[in-house]
Each structure stands twice: as structure tokens, then as C-alpha cells.
């Protein structure tokens, strides 16, 4: 482990994210469907503008260039193979994304987790509130928690994407009880 602290900021690489349990987030399968939908959309638009009468060659070329460039940028994000995990379980750590582009997570030891509750982040984002045992938190660990996207005293908040919050809470507590015991 990188630190003796029970609360750490940990950066993952593509390979290490493939072996963690994703509790909540956008799965690689969903990302593939979105990308496939975009490819279909771009192809249809490309065909329509290519055969449309009275469009200048410059307009057709510019539109096709933008479609191809945007497709390459989307593909360049390389998230098709890993998705956008929001809450993960990594052995005895529960992680909530802090910076998705850097694959950076605020991770807490599962022994700190007391409960996981469905919640909302104003105005209407569905989320999971991970309640921590504040008696075990040091001042320095709370300072790390304060660096979260939605900082709360003694809690971590993560978005619940494409999964019922109740099911995500159940999965998280299963990880705490079964994976954190080693």
C-alpha cells in the first residue's frame, strides 16, 4: 500500500482499473454503444451532406473534417476499453473518483465504511453517500476527504450512473464486508 493512512488519493492506470470492481459508473459496454451510435450518426450525416444538392465542396469538406476529427478525439480518449468508473472497490479500498481524466480516486479503507446510502446532489444528480467512521479519521485524513468533488464531513459522495442507487449501495456494502476482510 502506498501509505499507512486510511484515506489516500490514488491514481490508477488503464490496466489496474480493469481489475477493480466497478460499483458505479459508465461501463465499457455502455461506452462502446455510445461510440457505435456516434459512428452511425456521423456516417449518416456524412452520406446526407455528400449527396445533398447545392452544397459547396468547401462546406461538405469542412463538415466531414469536423465529423472525422470529433470521432478521432472521442476514440483518442481511449475510454472505450475502461469506461468512466465513479465508485470502485479495490481489495480493501473503496474509491470515489476525484479526477476522471487522470483516473484519480479518493480511497478509504473498507474498515472506515459504516454505511452506504442513496442520496441526491442538488439539483437532481443521483448519488451514493458513503458514511465513514469519523472517530477513526485523523485531521489529515479529513483534509484529504475535503479534496473530493463533493466534500462532506466524514462522508464520500459518488455519482450513481446507470444503476439503481439501492443496488449500488448493496454492492458497495458487499465489498466492504467480503473484500475488506483480508
80-122: pLDDT as tens digits = 777 788 899 988 899 999 988 888 999 999 999 999 999 988 8
Average pLDDT over residues 52-71: 92
> Are the beta carbons of 145 and 137 closer than 8 angstroms?
yes
Confidence bin at 181 (pLDDT 50/70/90)? low
Average pLDDT over residues 44-65: 92
> Are the beta carbons of 24 and 163 closer than 8 angstroms?
yes
Its pTM stands at 0.73
For residue 1, give the 3-state DSSP assignment.
coil
All cell numbers assigned to 133: 467512521
Q: Which helix (H) or strand (E) holds 131?
A: strand 125-132
For residue 22, give the 3-state DSSP assignment.
strand
- Burial, 145: exposed, middle or buried (Cβ in 10 Å; 0-12, 13-18, 19+)? buried
Q: What is the pLDDT of residue 2?
A: 45
Q: What is the pLDDT of residue 37?
A: 92
Question: Which residues is 26 bridged to in the sheet?
Answer: 84
Above 50 in pLDDT, residue 59? yes
Amino acid at each position: 500500500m502506498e501509505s499507512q493512512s486510511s484515506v489516500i488519493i490514488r491514481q490508477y492506470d488503464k490496466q489496474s482499473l480493469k481489475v477493480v470492481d466497478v460499483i458505479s459508473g459508465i461501463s465499457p459496454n455502455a461506452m462502446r454503444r455510445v461510440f457505435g451510435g456516434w459512428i452511425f450518426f456521423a456516417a449518416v450525416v456524412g452520406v446526407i451532406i455528400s449527396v445533398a444538392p447545392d452544397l459547396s465542396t468547401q462546406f461538405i469538406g469542412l463538415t466531414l473534417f469536423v465529423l472525422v476529427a470529433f470521432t478521432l478525439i472521442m476514440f483518442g480518449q481511449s475510454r472505450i476499453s475502461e469506461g468512466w468508473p465513479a465508485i470502485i472497490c479495490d481489495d480493501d479500498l473503496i474509491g470515489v473518483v476525484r479526477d476522471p481524466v487522470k483516473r484519480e480516486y479518493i480511497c478509504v479503507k473498507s474498515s472506515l465504511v459504516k454505511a452506504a446510502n442513496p442520496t441526491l446532489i442538488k439539483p437532481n444528480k443521483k448519488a451514493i453517500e458513503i458514511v465513514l467512521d469519523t472517530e477513526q479519521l485523523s485531521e489529515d485524513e479529513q483534509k484529504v476527504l475535503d479534496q473530493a468533488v463533493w466534500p462532506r464531513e466524514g462522508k464520500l459522495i459518488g455519482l450513481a450512473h446507470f444503476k439503481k442507487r439501492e443496488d449500488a449501495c448493496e454492492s458497495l456494502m458487499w465489498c466492504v464486508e467480503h473484500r475488506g476482510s483480508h
